[in-house]
Each structure stands twice: as structure tokens, then as C-alpha cells.
Structure 1
Amino acid sequence: MRAVLVRTPDTDSREAETMRKLAFAMNMSLDGCIAAPGADLGWSVPSEELFQRWSDRVAATGLALYGRKLEETMSSHWPSADQQPGATPAAIEFAGRWREMPKAVFSSTTGTVGGNTRVVTGEAVSEVTRLKAGDGGPMDIGGATLAAVAVRAGLIDEYVIVTHPVLVGGGTPFFPALDTWVHLSLVETRRFPGGVVLSRYETIR
């Protein structure tokens, strides 16, 4: 895995200060994957404490940028999760927060979407850049393909990596192959039950 070094002029740095922050936050296996072969996510089931951290993050997100597959996965469960028999208070809270969170799905094939969601069909780098320059709260990006495009374009301001102590032997990598380095600053670490460690990094520009 290589990192990326992004250098920008001072004028670009001043402009960046006024832009919305874009974060890439996902679970990762110790060998660097966000999903095991066959899109298996069974290794990343969160503890109650970690689930609350994800829920609080959803509540603080001004706009979530999803790829098509991630949108399909989330929308297949969370719109009505709080109405399911046996739903826990934490799941009920997350479902409500997820429905309220504005979402943009990047897809040329997705048709009608429900709730607080809209479809973006334009070129991903241009569209993400435009959204970063707009008004609103911080943005999160998810979905391996969409996030990889933003990573390679140097658009990610913050990486939140939740590392689980498991080796999955392949699958979908957290980081795409990169052409240049990115220097990062570690701004937070936190340990969760089960040996899970959250590391939060800011991109140095």
C-alpha cells in the first residue's frame, strides 16, 4: 500500500479552508480490506460502543456520498429498521438519523430513490469537487469504487479507519493504487471492545 503526497499553492490552501470537509470512514481488516471475498462483511459486526460511534457520525454528517452498491445495501435495511420486531434502542436511533441524513448516490443506472436521497449522474471528480465548494456541513464518502476515485484525485480531507483484528486474505481494498504520496497527520486514536482500533487522520496539504 502506498500513500499519496499532495502539494498545493498557498492560495489553494486558503480556498480549501472555506470548503466542506470530505471524510472517508469505513471498517478495515488488518490486511487492508473493507470487504472479504464475496463481499463478506461478517468480520466487521460492531460492538455496541462502536455502533454508537457510527451513529453519532451519521448524525453529524451534512451530506453522505454513496456509490450505487452501498446505497442499495443501506436502503435495503435502514429505512424501516426501527419498525422491525426486536429493534434495539440503538438501532432505532441509527435508523432515524440515517433517514434524516442527506444522501447523494453517484450512479448512471440508479432510478428512483426514496427519502432524503438524490441521484448524481455527472463525472465523479467534478461533482465531488462542486459539492465540496457548496454550503453545508461535513461530508462522508462511502463505497469502494466511488471512494477510490476521490482518494486518487486528492479530494479526501480526513480518513477514519476502524481496524478489526482479522486477516481476510483478500477482497476489496480500503486504499486504491496511487501514483503519488499523501502525507497524513494522526489526530485521534481510540480502542473499542474486541481489539478494534479507530485511527483518524487529516490530510496534510
Structure 2
Amino acid sequence: MRIKTHLGVSVDGFISSADGRPALLSVPTFDSGVSHGHPEFIADCGAVVMGRNTFEPAVGASHWPWPDLQVFVLTSRPLPAGTPSHVVSAAKPAELLDLMRKADFEGDVHLVGGQQTVAAFRGIGALDVLGVVTLPILLGGGTCLTTAASDPQHLRLESTRTFPDGAVEHIYSVAAPIG
């Protein structure tokens, strides 16, 4: 089991706009679940992990976004009403990682979500693959991929590909921290 991301990042380094909208949603050609290599990326995943802010909108959505995947949520609060019974949560990333390792699913784990969840799993050395899709857009502000206090991290480029809209996917394996 590897934990891996596939995040959209604007050319100026933002994963979401100033109003919290994911950078991918700012690209006119974006088609959820179809664009920018998502089908190939998710094909090897048996689970998803995310923070509460990413999870909550799914509970009230018209369709469940992860019908065939085990779902894990990093949160210190109880899950909202209407959460499917198979969703697993924990308050600490190490505890959630342990639950993921013990769970009955095959494949990798897609780390869906934002800066805090990526930082939480990086912080315990559990992020294995950083997939970044650099989007042909400048947002001018918003949320960066990492926090200002993040430790430097060596990455090893595994692959690169370009999409018809000009987006470029870089897949990195996470190497040893710098220092």
C-alpha cells in the first residue's frame, strides 16, 4: 500500500483559489474524474484518505464520489450525520495510517484533499508519491501546496506527461527529508 496524491496546482503554486475553490475547477476544460490522468491514477487505488473539509461536502452530494473505494477521514470531530457506516475516521494521522494498514482493501490510497492533510501524512513519513498536475492558469492567490513552516523534502521524478489543454503531470516518489 502506497499513499499518493494527484493534485492540481496553478503555475503560480496554488492548489486552491483565495475563496477555497480547488485549482482544477478553475480550468475550463476540467472534467471531474476524467481529466488530467485521473482514471489511470485512481485505477490502482483501493482507498481514499482525506481531511474533514474535503469529506463533508460528499455526505450531502447527489452521488457518493467513492462508490468502490474504502474511505478514511482524518478528523478530531465525530463524522456528520448521513456518513456511510463503512467510513473510518481517526484524529491522528498515525492512528489513521494504522487503520488503513489493517483494513481489507487492495491497492494504493489516494490522498484527496488539501494542504493540511498532505502535511499531516508528510509529517509522519507516510506520503509515498506526490502527483502534481501543473495547470495552465495563474490564480494570483490562494492556498499553497505546502505550509510556510514545511520541512524541505527531496523528491525523485518518476514520470512526466503533457495533456491537450497544456497541463503537465509530474509524478514524484518522496525521498528522504532534507537536513
Which residue number in structure 1 is paired with residue 21 of structure 2?
A: 40
What is the deviation of 1:109?
A: 3.4
Q: What secondary structure sits across from 1:38 in the alignment?
A: coil
Q: Which residue of structure 1 aligns with residue 131 of structure 2?
A: 160
Matches of 2:86 and 2:14, distance apart in 1: 27
Partner of 2:113: 143
Out of 52, 56, 66, the position equivalent to 2:50 is 66
> Which amino acid in the other structure matches residue 159 of structure 1?
L
SS state at 2:80 partner: coil
**How many positions carry a matched residue from both structures?**
170
- 3-state SS in 2 of match to 1:139: strand
2:11 aligns to what?
30
Q: Which has the higher helix share?
A: 1
* Residue 99 (1) aligns with residue 83 (2): no
The match for 1:14 is none
Q: Which structure has more strand as a fraction of its residues? A: 2
Distance 2:152 2:158 in 1: 19
Q: Does 1:121 align with 2:90?
A: yes
Structure with more relative contact order (C-alpha pairs < 8 Å, separation 6 or more): 1
The 8 Å contact of residues 47 and 193 in structure 1, kept in 2 or not, is answered as no
Aligned-partner Cα distance in 2 for 1:23–1:68? 18
Q: Cα RMSD (Å) of the superposition?
A: 2.8
Instruction: Name the structure 2 match of 1:181.
Output: 152
Distance 1:48 1:126 in 2: 30
Q: Give the deviation of 1:74 after TM superposition.
A: 3.7
| Aligned equivalents of 1:101, 1:33: Cα separation in 2 | 27
Return the alpha-carbon distance in structure 1 between the equivalents of residues 57 and 33 of structure 2: 22
Q: 1:34 to 1:203 in 2, by over 3 A?
A: same
Residues 55/78 of structure 1: CA separation in 2 closer, same or farther (3 Å cut): farther
Secondary structure in 2 aligned to 1:62? strand
For the 8 Å contact 1:129–1:155, the answer to whether it is kept is no
Query: 2:53 & 2:26 partners in 1: Cα distance?
Result: 19
Rounded Cα–Cα distance in structure 1 between residues aligned with 2:15 and 2:36:
19
In structure 1, list runs of 5 or more residues that go unmatched.
Answer: 1-19, 81-94
Q: Give unmatched runs, 5+ long, in structure 2.
A: none
